[in-house]
Every structure is written in structure tokens, then in C-alpha cells.
Structure 1
């Protein structure tokens, strides 16, 4: 199964082609990851086409599209999800959304893992995972409030935004800071292999967008 993966939930624009093999392994065929707080819309399609060329995969060879549904900022998520939906619709293949924090956790190995990403406004998006999957979240909190929420919880590793992971006083792995192609595909693997029709992909904004119409601002 050949899968196009897209995520724009963090400052790192991620796209690539992954292959789910018969033994359920996820093999990376090509990937582009570019750190850019802005400009997602300008580069995403170009990066996708570069990955397809490098992987030697025609668009018609793709079996599905996986997209990170956040949590993340309104504008960034909209770019990735609209682009992924356009590819899936044009190719008449399934579009599977996954929580972007789940994708980051997929690269973190075993144990109890806390994933945090930058939510701006001095807050973080977060989710806590155990051996059997997500235990809490996704949610948005200040680091101080999150520390209070996690008091008494065992955390083996914290991954995600490198400007925030060190705030919690637990072991970190700075190499795992944003979703990867393999993480996105692994997070969607069970749903893709089930053959069931995907649920509608809904963005995880978790709060209102920063930009609002004037009438709403006055209200």
C-alpha cells in the first residue's frame, strides 16, 4: 500500500511517500521536511511532487492519503488539509486524518510518552500516551497548568517542540520534534488496513482562530 502523507500542524512542513508492507512495516520511500513558520502554502505542492518523483511513484499508484489533523494553528492546518483533500479527491482514493500528536508519538518507542507542540500564546498542545495508546488529550494548556495536571503521573519521555520539552524536567529526545512520514502512516495504518470508509477529516483546532471578523471581535 502506497500512501502520501502530509502534515502542516507545526512549523515543520512534512510530506512524503510511505509504503505499508505485507508484514505491516512502514517503509519510507521519500520525504521532505522543511522548517518554516510561514509559507506552507507556497511550498507544499512542490514538496509533494518532489517526493513522488524521488520515490518513483506516479500519482495513480497511490492507494491513500494521510493528513495530520492537528492540533495546530488555523492557517497552517487549513493549508495541509485542503491540499491533502484535493489530492485524494482528484485521485479518488481514501483520505485518512490522524491526530498529529499521535504521529509524533509513533516515532518515540515504548513507555509513557508526553508529546507537546507549540500552541503559541505561551501555551502548548499536548497528549499523554501509554503502552495501549493515548491516555489523555489532545488538549491545550500553559506549561505550568500542564505540569499541575501531570502531577503524580509517570512520564518516561517528552518529545515535540524543543523549546518546550525541557520545561517539564523529564527525559527528552530532541530528534523527535514534529510528525514524520513514517509516523503519520503508522498512526493511520490500522484504519487504512481495515478497508472501512474513512470518517470525515475534522481539524483539531482546540480553540478559536486568532483572526476573527470585526463583528465577532466587537461581540
Structure 2
């Protein structure tokens, strides 16, 4: 295993929310009484990471700093989606981390227990451990330090997908790995967990707007 104390958490929160509509950032949308993009940060507060970095864009108005994050702005994430990964890994490398965990801020149901399982499954300095719903691998994903140089050379929108496919996969409940890309997906998630927003926000199905 790789200890959390030797690992840097990189929270990717700079996406352009293209499929969500003209809202600035979907991460600002309310979910269970807090911004959608803040849930992962709060859920992982008890994991004793060496350091925490949130890669944000000007569209995202969430303040991650009170939750222990160094905030790094990616001013042009659209031009190069992998640039957020590079920014986060560069911070991890500077910290002398043994590994980095890449998590997406639009996956609000990820738990600390699952992150600990990823850490437990990492057995070497070239380990790659991704999450899986039993069908396909996906974030959150852990990359040990032997892959830092490779991650720092990534370009385009493929990111670390090839490394994730070839790595070890830890299966968890599909509900934990839900990511929110569209308004309809957020509405379904609100209804699934009986979020108060499902009853009160205009435009939701149960509100009737």
C-alpha cells in the first residue's frame, strides 16, 4: 500500500461544463445544501493526505481553501484538458509525494473508504489504481511517482485514460462513481438521494417547472 500521508490529492474542478448549459460552472449548482463541486472535498477531509490541490477555473466560484486545499487556477482549461492534470501533478512532484490521487469535482458521491481501498491496492512506485463500476475504469485514480514524468507530458483531452485502462481496477458500487455532466443527470441524482433541491428548485421534474 501507499500511505495517504505520502500522497497528494488533486481535485480537478476546472472543466468547462459544456454539456450542462450556460451556467458558468455546474460545480456551483446546489446539491444537498452545498455546491455540487464541494462534496468530494468534504467527503475526503478525514483522509490524511500529504497535501491537497484544487485545480479550478474562473468559472468555479467555490472556495476550496477553507477545506485545506492549495488552489491553483487553470485560466484556459478548454484549450488543453490535460493541463489541469499537469498542474496538479507538478504540485505533487514539488511536494515529494509518493503518489497522486486524481479526483473529479463532479463526482459528488465518492467516499473516503473507497480512496483508502485505492491506496491499499497500490503496491509499488509504478502502480496505477483506478476505480471501476464493474464495467469500465474511471476516476478517482491513483498514480505512483514513477508515472509523474509521463503525466506531465500529457496533452489534449485524453488525459491519463490509457494509463488508467492498463492499471489495476478497484470495483465499487456504481452509485458512488456517478458523475454529473448534464442538468438531467443532476436532477436524477437529487431525486435518488431525496435532496431538498429536487422539491424546491424551478425547472426540476418534481417541482413541476
The TM-score bracket by the shorter chain reads 0.3 to 0.5
- TM-score computed with the length of structure 1 as normaliser: 0.31
When the two structures are superposed, what TM-score results if normalisation uses the length of structure 2? 0.32
Normalized per residue, the structure richer in strand is: 1
